[in-house]
């Protein structure tokens, strides 16, 4: 018996004898402690509460946990599969995996894995719009080489709540589905895609018709159908046609974690490569807890790597623009106090509590404390003062005040392994609304950002709650730095939302990132957008209209959010890719930025953009004209502008009358900005390397773009 036990022990940990301990953030140390404590309670399997909170999934005979890893050349995928690992997407050195739960322990070591983190849980960001972005002119081909509708471009939708039977996803004659394939990653019965070992994939019309819809999710069972209809719905005989209405579709329902989204990207990329079609992926979801909001997360790195391969990503910017859920404090041997707002538990059945995310500056530690006040604003309880440089990675404790118990968990990194910043996450559960939860923080120097978000029993948090001042000596929060993860990623196009032909919506999240990089990138219509509704949804809705198709009623509903503005951008990218399928992801992003328009509602926006609108309102017509070589963008019928000499070697001139308010941008074809500023009719190019560039000139009334060749 002793030999058998020894043999089993070697199977579990033998690999670690030949591997270095993997680096992991505090959030993963916390997950290990919670899971191990849960299993120690005489359980052979994790409790349902833990399964719901972490990305843990039941397989045929055991439980897996979803992780993201950094691997090196010694990682042996074949051996890992033999050890029970389910290897998903691998992009560069980043891999998504589901591994047997028993592998995740303190001191985790596996050959070839340098870094590991438990995958972040995620949730969705909850008619005239086509004209607002001028896609109607693109569809008609007005003053363009041809009409553009998204043909031969793939729109990927990574979401929850797909109706595979909805006529919005058929062609305009309603004869053939445009869904190339759909992958339900939640299904436990079915055939997974090649190279993957989970879920069920449907690859033809008969399989899609038989499956009907994806697995209904507790997060949402209709979000994806609405989003996909905006990006590329055919209209199904109604006027509610999407932007890229002749594009092809790939649908992937995720599990509720980011490793699942990476698998979806890899699957979609594989299909785009095998079919020779370009791919744009819509992501109307995000989060604020646990992971860096400066573009350095493992997820952001993986997305950047896919972007470098030509995949274009669009993300919603978030819907916390009307909530003071953020606080920024630059410390000089002082402190800050604020009240932590929250929702009523009686009206929010999935609510666990509040989650306070805190990120400082590299090299500058800070301390935080939870305090409790009564209705007279008197201090009646407090936690220890916890410092990022000295605290353990995870603290799980509580305080008792009379009949009430306040539970709180703290995860802390002295220097997060991905960006070197100190971070702390404070999760609080206090069900007595009369007790005022107070965040106290202090530091000798450095700037710290704080966010207050809802935390559900599913481990998800992307709804903001306010920071308020209950009395003098306290501070209110603000709305800034509100773009969620992974919308903060460098390479993605991040969408704000405005009302059609009007102002920015109140809910559209503010930028910038915590490193002051401008986000969002562009704004598109996102208020009261009408699109398709999942006919298999259990939700009761009031439809705007409905149609009958194949003997069944299909409805259209009105929704608002950056979840709706993002697919406006996604569909526009499909039009751009049809017009020029050779453009890189970086070039497309820059073209969308360069062709954005401003008006009296946006106010003046400089070349660097701003934290509300990004670079302005989406104008896909202007973008298409730019890439198809039109010499006048925005005011084409009256253009008298000509560029000479072209090719140029010293100076380049524009012939026309100028009003003195022109500005210019000179970009490389990869989108990189070379120079910008006031334009007086001539531009020196003597110091600019030979090559092909795009010169854009605009004032308040017109926009003009030229292809400029510099050849000295």
Catalytic amino acids?
A: 159, 223, 563
CB 666 within 8 A of CB 688: yes
Measured CA to CA, the distance from residue 341 to residue 325 in angstroms comes to 9
313 cis-preceded (ω within 30 degrees of 0): no
The phi and psi torsions of 704 (rounded to 5 degrees) equal -135, 140
In whole angstroms, what is the distance from residue 3 CA to residue 6 CA? 5
B/e letters for 148-178, b = 16+ CB within 10 Å, e = fewer, are bbbbebbbbbbbbbbbbbbbbbbeeebeebb
Paired tokens of 385? 């003062």
Q: Which residues in 377-387 are b (16+ Cβ under 10 Å) and which e?
A: eeeebebeebb
> Distance from CA of residue 175 to its chain's centroid?
34
Take residue 614 and report the two structure tokens written for it: 């990004």
441: phi then psi, degrees, rounded to nearest 5: -140, 150
Q: Please report which helix (H) or strand (E) contains residue 531, including its range.
A: strand 529-532
Q: Is 376 helix (H, G, I), strand (E, B) or coil?
A: coil
Region at 494 (left for phi over 0; alpha for psi -120 to 50; beta for the rest): beta
What is the C-alpha separation between 301 and 447, in angstroms, rounded? 25
Is the separation of the CB atoms in 219 and 159 below 8 Å? no
DSSP 632-649: -BSSGGG---EEESSSBS
- 603 Cβ contact partners less than 8 Å away, ≥ 6 residues apart: none
- Give the DSSP H or E segment for 589: helix 585-594
Sign of CA dihedral 125, 312, 136, 172: negative
What is the rounded distance in angstroms from the CA atom of residue 592 to the CA atom of residue 626? 10
- What's the per-residue H, E or C state across 183-228? EECCCCCCCCCCCCCCCEEECCHHHHHHHCECCCCCCCCCHHHHHH
Q: Is the dihedral of CA 428, 430, 431, 433 positive or negative?
A: negative
Q: How far apart are CA 683 and CA 660, in angstroms?
A: 14
Per DSSP, 157 falls in state E
Cα dihedral 593/595/601/602 (nearest 10)? 20
Other C-beta atoms lying within 10 Å of the C-beta of residue 83: 16
Closest CA relative to residue 328, chosen from 464, 453, 465, 448:
448
Q: Is residue 686 classed exposed, middle or buried when 0-12, 13-18 and 19+ CB atoms within 10 A define those classes?
A: exposed
Residues 558, 551: contact at Cβ < 8 Å?
no
Partners of 651 in the β-ladder: 684
């Amino acid at each position: 018996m002793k030999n058998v036990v020894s043999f089993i022990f070697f199977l579990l940990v033998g690999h670690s004898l030949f591997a270095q301990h993997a680096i992991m953030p505090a959030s993963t140390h916390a997950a290990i402690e919670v899971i191990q404590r849960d299993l120690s309670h005489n359980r052979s399997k994790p409790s349902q509460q833990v399964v719901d909170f972490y990305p843990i999934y039941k397989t045929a005979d055991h439980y897996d946990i979803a992780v993201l890893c950094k691997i090196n050349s010694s990682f042996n995928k074949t051996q890992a599969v033999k050890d029970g690992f389910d290897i998903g997407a691998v992009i560069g050195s980043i891999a998504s995996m589901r591994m047997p739960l028993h592998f995740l322990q303190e001191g985790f070591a596996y050959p070839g894995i340098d870094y590991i983190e438990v995958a972040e849980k995620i949730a969705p960001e909850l008619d005239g719009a086509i004209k607002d972005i001028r896609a109607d002119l693109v569809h008609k081909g007005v003053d363009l080489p041809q009409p553009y509708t998204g043909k031969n471009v793939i729109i990927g939708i990574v979401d929850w709540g797909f109706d595979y039977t909805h006529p919005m996803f058929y062609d305009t004659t309603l004869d053939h589905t445009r869904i190339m394939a759909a992958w339900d990653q939640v299904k436990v019965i079915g055939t997974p895609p090649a190279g993957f070992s989970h879920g069920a994939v449907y690859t033809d019309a008969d399989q899609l018709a038989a499956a009907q819809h994806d697995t209904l999710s507790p997060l949402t069972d209709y979000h994806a159908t609405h989003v996909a209809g905006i990006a590329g719905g055919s209209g199904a005989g109604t006027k509610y046609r999407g932007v890229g209405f002749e594009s092809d579709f790939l649908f992937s329902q995720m599990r509720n974690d980011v490793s699942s989204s990476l698998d979806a990207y890899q699957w979609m990329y594989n299909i785009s490569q095998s079919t020779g079609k370009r791919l744009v992926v819509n992501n109307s979801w995000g989060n604020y807890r646990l992971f860096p909001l400066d573009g350095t997360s493992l997820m952001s790195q993986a997305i950047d790597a896919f972007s470098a391969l030509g995949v274009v990503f669009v993300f919603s910017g978030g819907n916390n623009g009307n909530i003071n859920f953020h606080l920024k404090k630059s410390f000089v041997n002082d402190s800050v106090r604020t009240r932590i707002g929250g929702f009523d538990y009686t009206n929010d059945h999935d609510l666990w509590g509040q989650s306070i995310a805190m990120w400082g500056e590299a090299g500058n530690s800070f301390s935080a404390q939870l305090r409790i006040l009564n209705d007279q604003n008197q201090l009646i309880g407090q936690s220890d003062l916890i410092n990022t440089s000295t605290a353990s990675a995870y603290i799980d404790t509580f305080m008792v005040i009379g009949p009430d118990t306040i539970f709180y968990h703290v995860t802390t990194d002295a220097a997060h392994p991905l960006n070197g910043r100190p971070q702390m996450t404070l999760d609080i559960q206090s069900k007595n609304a009369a007790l005022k939860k107070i965040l106290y923080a202090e530091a000798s120097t450095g700037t710290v950002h704080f966010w207050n978000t809802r935390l559900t029993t599913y481990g998800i948090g992307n709804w903001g709650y306010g920071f308020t001042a209950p009395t003098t000596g306290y501070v209110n929060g603000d709305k800034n730095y509100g773009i969620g993860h992974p919308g903060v990623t460098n390479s993605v196009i991040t969408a704000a939302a405005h009302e059609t032909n009007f102002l920015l919506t109140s809910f559209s999240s503010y930028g910038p990132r915590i490193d002051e990089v401008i986000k969002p990138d562009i704004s598109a219509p996102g208020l009261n957008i009408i699109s398709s509704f999942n006919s298999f949804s259990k939700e009761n809705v009031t439809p705007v209209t409905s149609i009958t198709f194949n003997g069944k009623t299909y409805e259209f509903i009105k929704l608002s959010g950056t979840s709706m503005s993002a697919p406006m951008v996604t569909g526009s990218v499909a039009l751009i890719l049809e017009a020029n399928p050779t453009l890189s992801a970086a070039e497309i992003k820059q073209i969308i930025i360069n062709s954005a328009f401003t008006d009296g509602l946006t106010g003046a926006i400089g070349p660097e953009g701003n934290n509300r609108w990004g670079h302005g309102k989406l104008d896909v017509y202007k973008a298409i004209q730019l890439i198809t070589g039109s010499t006048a963008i925005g005011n084409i019928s009256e253009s008298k502008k000509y560029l000479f000499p072209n090719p140029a070697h010293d100076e380049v001139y524009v012939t026309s009358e100028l009003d003195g308010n022109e500005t210019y941008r000179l970009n490389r074809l990869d989108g990189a900005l070379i120079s910008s500023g006031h334009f007086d009719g001539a531009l020196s190019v003597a110091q600019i390397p030979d090559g092909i560039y795009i010169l854009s000139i605009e004032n308040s009334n017109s926009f003009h773009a030229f292809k400029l060749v510099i050849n000295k």
